[in-house]
Chain A
Amino acid sequence: MLDLVDRDYFTDHSILLDPYEYFEALREKGPIYRLPGRDIFMVTGFAESLEVLANTVEFSSVVCVGGPAAQMPFTPQGDDLTPQIEEHRTSFVGGDYLVARDDKAHTNSRALLSRLFMPSRLKANETYMTGLADGLIKGAVARGGVELITEIAVPFATLVIADLLGVPPDDRDHFMGVLAAGPPAGALDADDDAERPHPMEVMAGYFVNYLIDRKQNPRADVLTELATASYPDGTTPDVAELVRLSTFLFGAGQDTTAKLLGNAMRFLIEVPGLQAQLRADPSLLGAFLEEVLRLEGSTKMTSRIARKATTVGGVEIPVGTKVMVALAAANRDPRRWENPGAFVLNRPRIKENLAFGRGAHVCIGNPLARAEARIVFEKLFEHSSHVDFDAAAHGKPGNLKLDYEPSFIIRGLEKMQLTLTPR
């Protein structure tokens, strides 16, 4: 049997159930470690992760959707790969998504989205979120139980983004069905059903129509604002670009938020005394979620490619090699976090955890994701007196049977069957 550290993180299903053990095996090799015989460095250190994320000059994000193990669409040549990357950008998986862009193309597009996530906008969105969570959870409590991920978390996360973007209510159900049928980000197994249009393409079809309509018939809504927005330098994006940006929000914010809810629920149930403590004082929810994000954020890693030769933590990174930033491992780096494996509320400087990344690409949806999770738990506490795993589905505590999503990016349960006791 292979040593843990020699297993293939990108394809090995056994690392899914516990990636942390694998990350600790990597950490023993140092905070940055080159996989033997491969062009990939694994970063598990907190300081080293920050170093990579801050260095947008020498690193490109173009590989971050397809991951560092994906085949390169070109043979790197020369000491600056920027021209080659830009020439082949659309041949990288997701190379044209916001998260994968570099330099001015990234800055410009990110500026367009920023306005959607300002507090005043999120406040309007929060009214919708609260009503939606209320209905979903009330119904679940009335039934005595629920499958959290597919019955609450995914529809909730999806509809909230649809509301944020101003998608007409009639189309929202349709989107949900389309997204639920699609593969998760960073799927370990290649999609077996290539005939089926990718969910993002289906959604893009709708967004084209919305945006063209709003350009012609402006109204007081978010889609109009997006359709008529201009870049900070005064130039205007074309409709295709606006479509890519808006549909990408579903890709980035649906599964991640849904899985965070599951991960948080697991801590709520399993950490002794925690459920009672939070129910008694829901103002601790913010602190609770930060510690969940640190210990079990829903994005395990991101990646970069060295477009120029550089160094990280004193280690030389040759041009063209890739770096996997194991956010989940950085969040448990003992040099940064005392007793890193322990669940502790209100750690000093907890908000500096890397669950949302850092720097130029830091998750733009972070305030939304935090608000979503808080509201779901508030409603859970409002309508129920106790939540637990359903033993019929998951077995007994201490020996739970739980299935994690087969993805090298996303960390979260596929299903979580809960029992809910009414108040």
Chain B
Amino acid sequence: MPQLIVTTAKGETHVLEAESGITAMMAIRDAGLEGLLALCGGVCSCATCHVHVDPASQSLLDEMSEDENELLDGSLRRNEHSRLSCQILITPARDGLRLTIADED
């Protein structure tokens, strides 16, 4: 299974085994990591699954959709590494993806 390496807002790092086909949000949520509410359940409408992608992992991801981009615009914590984890699909090619859970707005 692809590995997903997630740092919480408190700075703890966890290595998750994530099944291909689920999203990064689901992997983080199901691991019970702190600080990811994912209130809307993955339909790109709450921004409570906000993560920062490690610069070294950036190239593993596709461009974000207009929906994702617009929703992130509403976040005070947006930076150049921001993504919504519910829009990141886990695939074998994304093995080793590193993310940090963003602080809540």
Contacts and interface: CB of A to CB of B under 8 A. Distances in A.
Nearest to B87: A118
B44 A118 contact: yes
Contact of A367 (B22, B45, B66): B45
Interface in B30-45: 30, 32, 37-45
Q: Kindly name the residue among B21, B32, B65 whose own CB sees the greatest number of chain A CB atoms within 10 A.
A: B21
Q: Kindly name the residue among B20, B39, B46, B65 whose own CB sees the greatest number of chain A CB atoms within 10 A.
A: B39
Contact of A114 (B20, B32, B43, B71): B43
B17 interface: no
A60 to B, nearest CB: 15
A359 B21 CA distance: 18
B4 interface: no
Contacts of A117: 43, 45
Contacts of A361: 41
Given A107-B22, A118-B44, A351 B39 contact: yes
Interface secondary structure of B, over-half rule: loop
A232 B22 contact: yes
Nearest to B46: A351
B44 to A, nearest CB: 5
A233 interface: yes
Given A56-B30, A119-B71, A360-B26, A232 B40 contact: no
Nearest to B44: A118
For chain B, give the interface size range: 20 to 34
Interface string B52-73: 0000000000000111001100
Nearest to A123: B67
Contacts of A352: 37, 39
B67 A367 contact: no
B29 interface: yes
A122 B44 CA distance: 11
Contacts of B41: 359-364, 366
A233 B22 CA distance: 9
A71 interface: no
A32 B26 CA distance: 27
Given A119-B67, A120-B66, A352-B37, A114 B26 contact: no
A110 B22 CA distance: 11
B47 to A, nearest CB: 11
A290 B22 CA distance: 29
B9 interface: no
Contacts of A107: 21-22, 26
Contacts of A232: 20-22, 89
Contacts of A363: 41
A54 interface: yes
A360 B70 contact: no
Given A54-B29, A54-B32, A120-B67, 10 more contacts: A107-B22, A118-B44, A118-B67, A119-B45, A120-B65, A232-B21, A232-B89, A360-B41, A364-B41, A366-B43
Interface of B: 20-22, 26, 29-30, 32, 37-46, 65-67, 70-71, 89
8 contacts: A56-B30, A107-B22, A110-B42, A120-B66, A360-B30, A366-B40, A366-B43, A366-B45
Interface of A: 54, 56, 107-108, 110-111, 114, 117-120, 122, 231-233, 351-352, 358-364, 366-367
The 4 closest A-B pairs by CB, nearest first: A232-B21, A362-B41, A117-B43, A367-B45
